[in-house]
Amino acid sequence: MIARAMSHSARYDAMAERVRALYDRNRQKGTAPWCGQDYDFVCPSTGTYPFQWFWDSCFHAIVLARYDMERARSEIRSLLKNQPDDGFVGHVTFWQREAFEEMLKEYSIAYRTPYLSDCIQPPLLAEALFAITRGEGGAEVRAELLPKVRRYYDWLDRIRDPDRDGLIAILQPDESGLDHIPKYDRYLGVSNPTRDEFTAAWQRAVGPYAELQRDHDRMFAADRFVVEDVLVNTIYAENERVLALLHEESGDPAAAAEMRTRATRTTASLLGKCYDPGTGLFYDLAGQKEELLRVSTVTSLMPILLPDLPKEMVASLVRHIADPEAYAAAYPVPSTPLNEPLYLKPSDGRPEHDSKLLWRGPSWINTNWYIARGLRRHGHEDLARTIEDRSAVLIETHGFREYYDPYTGDGFGAHAFSWTALVLNMLADHEGVK
C-alpha cells in the first residue's frame, strides 16, 4: 500500500536515469536527402538495428512520453512522415540507408520503395498516439496526427481483412514481430528447425510474392502464408478501442462509433474463433480454411489485455501464466512455455539464443508489459507485480538486452536494446508513480 501511495520511488528514478542515457545513445537525428525531411527517432539498437522500426518506435514513444514529450512526438512524427497516400506505414523506414548499404545486404526485406519496407508489424500506433497526446499541446498533436493514424487503420481494415471477420492477416511470419516463434513451424513445414532450415521455409512461403508483384489480392489468393495472429489481433482490437477514445476526445462521435464497432467485431472473432476451451488458450488461424495452430506460446496469453474478456477466459489464462511448469518461470514470461517441447534451452548445446532464432523460449519485455497491464485490468495485481518486479530485476542485473533466459536471467541478442526500456512503464505501475 505504501508503495502505491508514493509518487516518487528511488527504484523508478534510478531506472529513469538509465532509460534516458539509453535513449540519448540510440537517438538518430538528421535530415534525409532522399525525402528532404528531418528525422528524430530512437533506433532499436545501433549495432544491429539502426533504422526506424514500426512497433519498436511506438514502444519508444510510449516510454519517452513519460519524461520527454517533445521527443515522444518527434518519434511518431518521424514514423508517419513518409506515409504513402493509401495510409500504409512500412515496418522499417530506412532513413539513413546510404550509410548502411553493407549491412542491408544481410537483410531480406521486401521494399515498397528503397526507403520503406512493404510489410507490417503489430499495429500499436493508436496507443502511441494516445501517449503523445496527453498533457500540454496534446490537442494540437491529435489534430495533426489523428487523420494519418486513422488512415493507417483503414488500410489494415481494407487490405488485410479480406474475409471481413475483423481479424487482420499477416502474410509472412515476421509481420507478427515474432520472427521465428514455433507456432508457425508445422504450417511452414518444418520441425524444430535450425536457423537455416527456418529461413529456407520462410523463403519457400514468401519468395513467390515477388512474382505476384506483392499485389494483396494475389498474395491472399495464393494462400501461402495467411495467419490471423492472436498477438497482432489483440493489439489491433486494443488499438481500435483506443482510436475510438481519440475520436471522442476530438469531438467526432461518428468516427468513434465506427471504431468501437470495429473493435467489438475484432474482439468477437478472437473470442469466437481463436479460443480453445480444451486447453484454455488462444491460437492463431492459418490459411483460408482458418485452421487453429495449436501451439502454446506467449501470444496465446495476450488476450488478457482485452478489457471485456469473459471471466472464465481470464481465469484460464491466469492459470497458465501462474503455472510454474509453463509460464511462471523465475524470470517470466517465456515466449514459449518451459514444458513445451519446442522450447529452446540455452543449455541444449545449440547456440540458438546467440544465433538469432528469435522468440523460441526467452522472455521479452514488450510482451511482459502487455501481459502485466492485462492482469491489472482484470484485478490480478499480485501476478502483475511479480512480472513487473522480475522484469526490473533483469534490467537492473543485466542491462537493456533484447531478450533474457527465463531460468537464469542472462541477457541475449542485441545490447542496449531500446524497447526493453518499457520496464520503466512497468516500474511506474509497480511503484505507483504517476
Site residues (vs ligand GLC, CB under 6 A): 44, 49, 53, 55-56, 177, 179, 358
- State which residue, 179 or 410, has the beta carbon closest to ligand GLC: 179
User: Closest approach of Cβ 388 to ligand GLC, in Å?
Assistant: 21
User: Closest approach of Cβ 26 to ligand GLC, in Å?
Assistant: 11
- State which residue, 128 or 318, has the beta carbon closest to ligand GLC: 128
- State which residue, 367 or 386, has the beta carbon closest to ligand GLC: 367
* Burial (Cβ within 10 Å: 0-12, 13-18, ≥19) of residue 44: buried
User: Closest approach of Cβ 45 to ligand GLC, in Å?
Assistant: 7
User: Closest approach of Cβ 126 to ligand GLC, in Å?
Assistant: 18
**In the block, residue with C-alpha cell 519498436:** 56
Find out whether 165 and 265 touch, Cβ atoms under 8 Å.
Answer: yes
User: Could you tell me the three cell numbers for 273?
Assistant: 474463433
Q: Which neighbouring-strand residues pair with 45? A: 49
- State which residue, 166 or 362, has the beta carbon closest to ligand GLC: 362
User: Closest approach of Cβ 79 to ligand GLC, in Å?
Assistant: 13
Peptide bond into 333 cis (omega under 30): yes
Task: Give the orientation angle of helix 230-249 with respect to helix 365-377, to 10 degrees.
Answer: 60
Q: Give the residue ranges of DSSP H helices in 223-328.
A: 230-249, 253-269, 311-321
User: Closest approach of Cβ 179 to ligand GLC, in Å?
Assistant: 4
- State which residue, 100 or 253, has the beta carbon closest to ligand GLC: 100
49 vs 52: CA distance, rounded Å? 8
Other Cβ atoms less than 10 A from the Cβ of 13: the count is 12
115 vs 94: CA distance, rounded Å? 5
- State which residue, 263 or 424, has the beta carbon closest to ligand GLC: 424
Q: For the sheet containing 92-93, what is the strand order?
A: 52-53, 92-93, 116-117, 111-113
Q: Are strands 291-293 and 284-286 parallel, antiparallel or unpaired?
A: antiparallel
Find out whether 212 and 223 touch, Cβ atoms under 8 Å.
Answer: no
Find out whether 181 and 297 touch, Cβ atoms under 8 Å.
Answer: yes
User: Closest approach of Cβ 41 to ligand GLC, in Å?
Assistant: 13
Q: Residue 194 gets which letter from DSSP? A: -
301 vs 282: CA distance, rounded Å? 7
322 vs 15: CA distance, rounded Å? 27
| Ordered DSSP codes for 83-142 | --TT----SEE-TTGGGGHHHHTT----EEETTEES------HHHHHHHHTSSTTHHHHH
- State which residue, 176 or 386, has the beta carbon closest to ligand GLC: 176
Q: Residue 31 gets which letter from DSSP? A: E
131 vs 67: CA distance, rounded Å? 11
**In the block, residue with C-alpha cell 486494443:** 238
- State which residue, 120 or 383, has the beta carbon closest to ligand GLC: 120
User: Closest approach of Cβ 236 to ligand GLC, in Å?
Assistant: 16
User: Closest approach of Cβ 272 to ligand GLC, in Å?
Assistant: 28
User: Closest approach of Cβ 27 to ligand GLC, in Å?
Assistant: 16
- State which residue, 53 or 327, has the beta carbon closest to ligand GLC: 53
- State which residue, 177 or 411, has the beta carbon closest to ligand GLC: 177
- State which residue, 53 or 282, has the beta carbon closest to ligand GLC: 53
User: Closest approach of Cβ 87 to ligand GLC, in Å?
Assistant: 21
